[in-house]
Structure 1
Amino acid sequence: MARSPALPSYTLPVPLGPLTPEQALMLALDVAQGLRWPLRHLSAAGLVVQRNPASATEPPALVTVRLAADELLVNSSAVPKELAGTRAQQQAYAGEFARAYQGLAAVADAAELQRRYEQARADFPPPDKDVLVPRPTAAQSVLDAFRPRRGYVVTPVLISLNVLIYLLMVANGAGPLLPDPDIMVRWGANVRPLTLGGEWWRLLTACFLHFGALHLLLNMFALRNIGEELEQGIGSVRLLAGYLLAGLGASLVSLWWHEQPVVSAGASGAIFGLFGLLLALITTTLVDAKVRKPLLASLGSFIGYNLLFGLVPGIDNAAHIGGLLTGMVVGYALFLTLRRGAPKWMLPLVLGLLGLGMAGAIAGALRLLPRAADRAATAYEAGLTEFQRREQRAEQLLATLRQSTTISREEALRRLQTEGLDGWRQNLQLVQRLDSLELPTAEHQRLLLLRQYSRYQVRRFRLLHRALAENSSAYSDSVRVYQQQAERLVDALNKMDAASGQ
């Protein structure tokens, strides 16, 4: 296949002179207008103009001016036409622009150029739609999320910390796709009985744990997007404070909402807090009224959609709402530090007050929320009463079947199923529900024995039902073994009760 020859092109570096890159961009725009080269594109990265031919023998060209740290990169490239010209002609065009720039730079009004830049920047395209911004490869985009740079320091550290903890969990036996809840608890997930029992640090550690790779990837994608934009706008210190405070607020609301203990973990509460922080700042005078309404509509729709998605079972939407509200409070507080003319001491003062407020909220929760333990104790006693009622009914059934000669085989099978086997299955489910209550450690140990006791009884009554259905004595030894194992557990429970004085 034939290949078209490369079009002539030439790049000339031009020193900025006494100007900043932003001021140099406005001066380059003046140069293009003075040369009467029509503007094709203007952004924070540079500009593109077209040099139309002055005569029929001159080829047209596109001149691209890109901003660098201390220079302009002026590139002149032939357009794909029959009259493409030569590289020497492109060099001449770039030189023509450079000479005009250098002549104006010596007498330019830097303050006026800066003022014009601030006015023009509102119309600049975003980086992802800027033709002058190179598009990174997928691998580069992933690596960039972890690479600190100017205006992007705290966000990559937070992302790296979340990913590192996930990798450590997997290396120590956690499932990469869906780790066991017990493992999450050992690593610091937020669980009401443990957090209120003195392990208050779980309010923070839970913000860096994730239920598998997909959970981690979704949260880190969101953190990279909101974190990069917000950190460049408000600074690294404010972003870090917002993330941590919102994470703590999310954990507190989750703790308050879920009276029945759940294992809560993930960075989404803290990330919702960053969106809440941004939402609060948009409503202030920091944002021009002309752009405030569309920004609020866009951000509000995004937050609303994600809260609606959070209604799916298994998602801790209470943490999302808690993080969002906490972030809004932090945002309005930080507004005091971002106003024009705010003194330098305002930021540490506001952060200190926010920290004291969060410490007070945590202390209050640890003191007031444990009162729910009284309700848990009542539910526990009621559950044990129900457990004993089913247990007695099942044993009375066996006694009745041994003594009665009038109960038909079909009736005996039906009652073994409903009063015996189904009753013990219900007891097993009951014990599992009771174990989720906020109870002392000793009661959870007791429930562990009751759970195993119920399993033995389920197996025992299943075999009794099978033996009667098959009119067989082949299961007698197995029934006896399960009964003995259940009796040993009863002895262990009695010893536990005696040791605790019950």
Structure 2
Amino acid sequence: MAQLELGKPEERRKPQRRVNGIFWVILLNLGIYVADHVFQVRGIKNLYLYHNFPEWYQFLTATFCHANWNHLSSNLFFLYIFGKLVEEEEGNFALWLSYILTGVGANLVSWLVLPRNAVSVGASGAVFGLFTISVLVKMSWDWRKILEVLILGQFVIEKVMDAAQASTALSGPFRGGHALQSINHIAHLSGALVGVLLVWLLRKVPSDSPDQ
């Protein structure tokens, strides 16, 4: 799937970049999950996004926290696929920037829209953002590419929704009577929209390349 032909002709393609950043993103998600659910480190719960009185850092740290293994494993699968595509095309810094901005943007919108007793966790907003970015930076107006994107997009949405549904096992009360948000459709849509905005802004930046 990482070799999907979504974009530029062979002769115009950028040289393949060395991919390291996505593995650090995955390791960070895994490390926080192990600390939270295996070793049950008490302070990890403070990284969740509590909508009633959120700390500023929780909008970021909640993107690395997950409700259970099914929730995490599905997100890691798509993070690897789409994060790798973004990193190969745009580089390590762009990957981290995309993950952070789409994840934080999704959590910010969730906080504004969802009930005050909700708790948000998960990388799903960032997953949708990276999916959108990986598609838009490579997509061309070829009906075969568009069909490919539609098929893959439907698959991504279905699997991420299934993973989010698995988090209902932890939908009981959290700190201060908060309830875990089991399926945060707002975060999914917001992450995708932030991804679209990022690509639009990048295309507005002047380039010295003769191909632009």
- Alignment-derived partner of residue 178 in structure 1: none
The C-alpha deviation readout for 1:47-94, integer Å capped at 9, x for no partner, is: xxxxxxxxxxxxxxxxxxxxxxxxxxxxxxxxxxxxxxxxxxxxxxxx
The counterpart of 2:119, out of the listed 244, 258, 263, is: 263
The counterpart of 1:190, out of the listed 49, 55, 59, is: 49
Structure 1 residues 338 and 161 mapped into 2: Cα distance closer, same or farther (>3 Å)?
A: farther
Is residue 279–residue 296 contact of structure 1 (8 Å, CA) maintained in 2? yes
1:117 and 1:327 map into 2 onto residues whose CA distance is 25
Tell me the CA shift for residue 168 of structure 1: 2.0
Aligned length: 186
Tell me the CA shift for residue 200 of structure 1: 1.4
Q: Which amino acid aligns with 1:305?
A: E
1:338 and 1:306 map into 2 onto residues whose CA distance is 37
2:164 and 2:39 map into 1 onto residues whose CA distance is 32
Is residue 244–residue 270 contact of structure 1 (8 Å, CA) maintained in 2? yes
- Alignment-derived partner of residue 169 in structure 1: 36
Report the 3-state secondary structure (helix = DSSP H, G, I; strand = E; otherwise coil) of the residue aligned with 1:194.
coil
Is residue 278–residue 331 contact of structure 1 (8 Å, CA) maintained in 2? no
Tell me the CA shift for residue 237 of structure 1: 1.6
Q: Which amino acid aligns with 2:34?
A: L
Is residue 188–residue 202 contact of structure 1 (8 Å, CA) maintained in 2? yes
Q: Which amino acid aligns with 1:194?
A: F
2:156 and 2:91 map into 1 onto residues whose CA distance is 23
Structure 1 residues 290 and 170 mapped into 2: Cα distance closer, same or farther (>3 Å)?
A: closer
Report the 3-state secondary structure (helix = DSSP H, G, I; strand = E; otherwise coil) of the residue aligned with 1:200.
coil
Is residue 209–residue 265 contact of structure 1 (8 Å, CA) maintained in 2? yes
Is residue 102–residue 194 contact of structure 2 (8 Å, CA) maintained in 1? yes
Deviates more, 1:313-322 or 1:219-228: 313-322
- Alignment-derived partner of residue 326 in structure 1: 194
Q: Which amino acid aligns with 1:167?
A: V
Report the 3-state secondary structure (helix = DSSP H, G, I; strand = E; otherwise coil) of the residue aligned with 1:263.
strand
Q: Relative contact order (alpha carbons < 8 A, sep ≥ 6): 1 or 2 greater?
A: 2
Q: Which amino acid aligns with 2:115?
A: E
1:265 and 1:332 map into 2 onto residues whose CA distance is 27
1:222 and 1:253 map into 2 onto residues whose CA distance is 22
Q: Which amino acid aligns with 1:256?
A: L
- Alignment-derived partner of residue 205 in structure 1: 61
TM-score (structure 1 length as normaliser): 0.33
Report the 3-state secondary structure (helix = DSSP H, G, I; strand = E; otherwise coil) of the residue aligned with 1:269.
helix
Tell me the CA shift for residue 317 of structure 1: 1.6
Is residue 281–residue 332 contact of structure 1 (8 Å, CA) maintained in 2? no
Tell me the CA shift for residue 331 of structure 1: 1.8
Alignment of 1:452-467 (within 5 A): none
Tell me the CA shift for residue 212 of structure 1: 2.1
Q: Which amino acid aligns with 1:192?
A: H
Is residue 281–residue 335 contact of structure 1 (8 Å, CA) maintained in 2? no
Q: Which amino acid aligns with 1:276?
A: T
Structure 1 residues 185 and 317 mapped into 2: Cα distance closer, same or farther (>3 Å)?
A: farther
Report the 3-state secondary structure (helix = DSSP H, G, I; strand = E; otherwise coil) of the residue aligned with 2:105.
helix
Structure 1 residues 303 and 220 mapped into 2: Cα distance closer, same or farther (>3 Å)?
A: closer
The counterpart of 2:97, out of the listed 238, 241, 253, is: 241
Is residue 282–residue 296 contact of structure 1 (8 Å, CA) maintained in 2? no
- Alignment-derived partner of residue 176 in structure 2: none
2:17 and 2:35 map into 1 onto residues whose CA distance is 29
- Tell whether 2:187 aligns with 1:316: no
2:195 and 2:154 map into 1 onto residues whose CA distance is 17
Tell me the CA shift for residue 341 of structure 1: 1.7
1:321 and 1:184 map into 2 onto residues whose CA distance is 29
- Alignment-derived partner of residue 276 in structure 1: 132
- Alignment-derived partner of residue 289 in structure 1: 142
The counterpart of 1:301, out of the listed 154, 176, 185, is: 154
The counterpart of 2:11, out of the listed 99, 103, 118, is: 118
The C-alpha deviation readout for 1:405-464, integer Å capped at 9, x for no partner, is: xxxxxxxxxxxxxxxxxxxxxxxxxxxxxxxxxxxxxxxxxxxxxxxxxxxxxxxxxxxx
Structure 1 residues 163 and 117 mapped into 2: Cα distance closer, same or farther (>3 Å)?
A: closer
1:220 and 1:307 map into 2 onto residues whose CA distance is 10
Q: Quick check: which has more Rg, 1 or 2?
A: 1
1:215 and 1:290 map into 2 onto residues whose CA distance is 33
Is residue 52–residue 116 contact of structure 2 (8 Å, CA) maintained in 1? no
- Alignment-derived partner of residue 465 in structure 1: none
Q: Which runs of no fewer than 5 residues in structure 1 stay unpaired? A: 1-43, 45-115, 122-148, 175-182, 343-502
1:277 and 1:163 map into 2 onto residues whose CA distance is 23
Please, what is the CA RMSD of the aligned residues?
3.3
Is residue 282–residue 292 contact of structure 1 (8 Å, CA) maintained in 2? no
Tell me the CA shift for residue 202 of structure 1: 0.6
2:202 and 2:156 map into 1 onto residues whose CA distance is 21
Tell me the CA shift for residue 214 of structure 1: 2.2
Is residue 105–residue 191 contact of structure 2 (8 Å, CA) maintained in 1? yes
The C-alpha deviation readout for 1:109-154, integer Å capped at 9, x for no partner, is: xxxxxxx9628x9xxxxxxxxxxxxxxxxxxxxxxxxxxx952121
1:307 and 1:164 map into 2 onto residues whose CA distance is 21
Q: Percent of pairs identical after alignment?
A: 28
Q: Which amino acid aligns with 2:202?
A: L
- Alignment-derived partner of residue 253 in structure 1: 109
